[in-house]
Chain A
Amino acid sequence: MDKRLPGLEEAVSGIKDGATVMIGGFGGSGNPIELIHALIDAGPKDLTVINNNAGNGKIGIAAMIDAGMVKKMICSFPKSSDPRAFTDRYMAGEIELELVPQGTLAERIRAGGTGIPAFYTPASYGTELAEGKPTAEFDGKHYVQERWLKADFALIKAELADHFGNLTYRMAARNFSPLMAAAATTTIVQATKVVEPGGIDPEQVHTPGIFVDHVVEVADPQQEEALIRAGVEYERA
């Protein structure tokens, strides 16, 4: 078994018009921008994108939105230090938004990856984000029913990967990625370093390779937040 692919172009070539794509990351931390920009080059349209945010500046998801590839965002916080890309399209009615409380978003993705079609959470009960959703009372408290979230593809940034797709993440760049890797039909990973099987201590694996389909090495990846703060745009290697 060897899940390695030679390059980013091959990695994203299966993502076609109308696909649902989960993208790991919280702000710039864990955002797989090399994979995202390879997808922009491939150019599929009418995508539904699931991420905590909705892009910043002109990089990553914001660049996807600017390229007119995104039909719908499912996220908790479509704001950033420079939210122009999403805001302009949203105010013009050119992009749909499904706003989900952050913990509910994480749990819906976990449910999608673990075969749980629905669950109950106290979050959003009695608020406008619960309108139209079933509710129930358990032990005297009120809860909102939420459905699982799945995707056709997940784009993930890892620190280490082995040939079997076992992954580790760097610091708080982990965030949604382990959940998304499990919830997507096809999970595509860019890793800073790819090692032989056995090159990651089994006790240190964060995402087991069963959740991963393809691995591409992107040594020295760029970091969205660092680029934005430096006032520079993404440059293809």
Chain B
Amino acid sequence: MSELKLSNAQIAWRAAQDIEDGAYVNLGIGFPEMVAQYTVEGRTPVFHTENGLLGFGPAPEPGTEDWDLINAGKKAVTLKPGASFFHHADSFGMVRGGHLDVAILGALQVAQNGDLANWRVGNKGVPAVGGAMDLVHGAKRVAVLTDHVTKKGDPKLVDACTFPLTGVGCVTRVYTSLAVVDIVDGHFVLREKLAGMSMDDLQAVTGAPLHTEGDVADLVVPEL
């Protein structure tokens, strides 16, 4: 590794390792969509998209898109065997009703109590929420993929969110460029960290105390 930090692809790879065979999974628009590329061999997760489709596959060859067959990011997708279509109320019923195993989202900030801010930076411009506020409620696990710090170096794992909230107390696990952190009873609990990084250095770029419960494993990912 040239830099002591995971690439987005490596963060996505790490998150993919936790997706069980047969899991129903919603991947947020953008960065979280990369998780699908790193599906573990021999496992068959089923991907859900808010606009009414379970069981979609990767983008089709350019020129063969069907624009009635899209995902929530309005990108063309393909159908896998066993796919199904349904209307929007059923689609969000799957989310709120607890039928999804995992929802994986991006973040501006995650607070130690599980609050998530990921839809809006401030109050300027046109606000657009999409399904962000619905997706954080109901899945058995709500995971976040994020750089550990902002481009300016500020912590994204914080004591309390300062950006507008998407949901309260909803995140269960955070995969960052430096660590894997669970949220347990209002605290960050460190599960894995890069081997070359000391606890003190990691704490210094984290905006709230990192607790431990037993051993902290090395965060090990392949070169991608």
Contact = CB atoms under 8 A, between A and B. Distances in A.
Interface of A: 26-30, 52, 76-81, 83, 86-87, 90-91, 97, 99-107, 109-110, 121-129, 142, 169-179, 206, 223-226, 229
A170 B85 CA distance: 9
B186 interface: no
Contacts of B96: 103, 121-123
B132 interface: yes
Chain B interface size, as a band, is 35 or more
Contacts of A178: 87
B224 interface: no
Contacts of A224: 67
A103 B97 CA distance: 12
A34 B71 CA distance: 23
Given A76-B131, A79-B128, A128-B164, A174 B70 contact: no
Q: Which of A104, A124, A125 has the most CB of B within 10 A?
A: A124
Given A104-B134, A122-B137, A127 B126 contact: no
Q: By DSSP majority rule, is chain B's interface helix, strand, loop, or mixed?
A: loop
Nearest to B119: A127
A76 to B, nearest CB: 5
A205 to B, nearest CB: 13
Nearest to B138: A122
Interface of B: 49-53, 66-70, 74, 85-89, 91-92, 95-96, 115, 125-135, 137-138, 164-168
A226 B87 CA distance: 22
A109 B89 contact: yes
Contact of A78 (B69, B85, B89, B126): B126
Contact of A170 (B68, B74, B115, B134): B68
B129 A102 contact: yes
Contact of B126 (A90, A100, A107, A172): A90
A106 B68 contact: no
5 contacts: A97-B126, A122-B96, A127-B165, A129-B129, A142-B168
